[in-house]
Amino acid sequence: MKNENLTIAAAREKLRTRELSSVELTEFYLARIKKHDPTLHAYLRVDAENALRQAREADMRIQDGTAGPLCGIPIAIKDLICQKGSVTTAGSKTLQKYVAPYDAAVITKLRDAGAIFLGKTNLDEFAMGSSTENSAFAKTANPWDVARVPGGSSGGSAAAVAADLCVGALGTDTGGSIRQPASFCGTVGLKPTYGSVSRYGLMAMTSSLDQIGPLTKTVEDAASVLNAIAGKDPHDATTADTVPVSIDSLKRGVKGMKIGVPREYFIEGMDPEIEAAVRAAIEKLKELGAAVVDVSLPLTKYALAVYQLTVTSEVSTNLARFDGIRYGYSAMNDKTASVKTLMEVYQKTRARGLGDEVKRRIILGTFALSAGYHDRYYVQAQKVRALIAKEFQGVFKEVDCLVTPTSPSIAFKLGEKFTDPLLMYLSDIYTVPANIGGICAISLPCGLSKGLPVGLQIIAKPFDEAALLRAAYAYEQATEWHTKRPPLN
């Protein structure tokens, strides 16, 4: 039985025709995880028992005609998303024993759709990083070259999809944490519009930027998962009603669409092979009937600075709860900590429970929000953020989508940027503007450089995932890059 590299669409058809059972499919992925994950470390935990139980239930639903749209499909979940009864660590020592008491909204929706949960994937601690090297438990390797990073912070999910250790996965994107690892691992990664997917049950890093989205093997699969998880949620006041993306609408092609190419995204010093691959993709879209026009987004150069000030400030606020008093690791319960005062509880709990990158961002954010600096830094950043969003609104009056590189580099080597935070932050230079603008964006494969995947980023206006996915699907189907797989034995 050949089940390698099944897409959600292909797996669903095999399940529908009874060519394959959900139990058989789940067993196949559990076997692949057992074989390959000791090298890749894409998963933090695999729950084989529950996955097989869910698979048996899915087979019954398929048999009696009550199957949901993702019924029987094995997926992986980034370990930042709460799943009732499952240890949910956020990649941090401080939560290594935390068992979630409830399901995140996306988990509830996926359960209703019939999805099978294989396990929780690795990530940079509290989603802070661009390489999945900041996890307290393991460093995930890129399936294309295990000496290189898979990107971050959703590197575990991207690696699992690329290595075919699941059919699809959920990640989170605050400044590119779905799209950049998708680019590095040669998968599709979708960041939906802020507010289209509930954040209820997502451990917050930066509440005004975080967004849950899918990592999949194809654009059609990304649309299928988006349709399952999107929509208004009474538990999240930032959510809005959404219109499901019709799979048939993806096939309309790009003829008549206007595609903008922002000149600020092609900067001096970027990898020439990446630029060549992206430019070739733009030409392909033109061949398919799209009108390609040059546009300018001059405020883009400020996006990374705005992002860092916003992120660190909100991190400082959101992680104040991990103080050793309410839940998580506490120095009071650690005999080696020898705490004597309440201040020592706070200090040693954070010093021992949190990693260097998390502590770095807390310190920077606390400074940015402190008296005398709040107006100078945080408030000023929010003013520029509003201008960047307005600039996007203006350009989307002229074009339907924007096309850019996803990352200025291919996957770099493990340890190459780990000790240089500023260099690491630059990995997200092309992805953070979409988060700052609150708009939707997707990364999909568009080439290889030195044998490693190159990502093409397509960006669209808020809640226009239909146009975004339509353009991405047209390019994908006209090329073969999405069929390339890492050379795993």
* Boundaries of domain holding 357: 1-489
Q: Model's pTM, two decimal places?
A: 0.96
The Cα 446–Cα 456 span in angstroms is 6
Confidence band of 186 (pLDDT split at 50, 70, 90): very high
Task: Give the list of residues 6+ apart from residue 257 with CB closer than 8 angstroms, or none.
Answer: 289, 290, 291, 400, 401, 467, 470, 471
> Which residue would you say has higher pLDDT here, 117 or 337?
117
Q: How many CB atoms lie within 10 A of CB 398?
A: 10
Burial of residue 57 (CB within 10 Å: 0-12, 13-18, 19+) is: middle
Torsion angles phi and psi, residue 83, rounded to 5: -135, 120
| Each residue's pLDDT tens digit, 309-341 | 999 999 999 999 999 898 889 999 888 888 889
Closest CA to 50 of 136, 107, 106, 117: 117
Strand ranges across the sheet with 452-460:
43-46, 116-121, 74-78, 168-173, 211-216, 188-191, 440-449, 452-460, 401-405, 258-262, 291-295
Least confident of 6-15, 42-51, 143-152, 413-422: 413-422
**Mean local confidence (pLDDT), 192-203:** 98
Taking the CA atoms of the chain, what radius of gyration do you get in angstroms?
21
The Cα 158–Cα 375 span in angstroms is 38
Is the pLDDT score of 368 beyond 60?
yes
Q: How many CB atoms lie within 10 A of CB 382?
A: 15
Mean pLDDT of the chain: 95
Confidence band of 268 (pLDDT split at 50, 70, 90): confident
Is the pLDDT score of 1 beyond 60?
no
Strand partners, 453: 448
Q: DSSP string spanning 161-200?
A: HHTTSSSEEEEEESSSTTHHHHHHHT-EEEEPPTTSB--T
Do residues 202 and 318 make contact, with C-beta atoms less than 8 angstroms apart? no
Please count the structural domains in the chain: 1
**Mean local confidence (pLDDT), 144-166:** 98
- Catalytic machinery residues: 78, 153, 177
Q: Tell me what percent of the residues of the chain surpass a pLDDT of 70.
A: 100
Is the pLDDT score of 426 beyond 90?
no
Confidence band of 424 (pLDDT split at 50, 70, 90): confident
Question: Can you give the CATH number for the domain in which 26 is found?
Answer: 3.90.1300.10
Residue 420 is predicted with a pLDDT of: 85
Residue 489 is predicted with a pLDDT of: 64
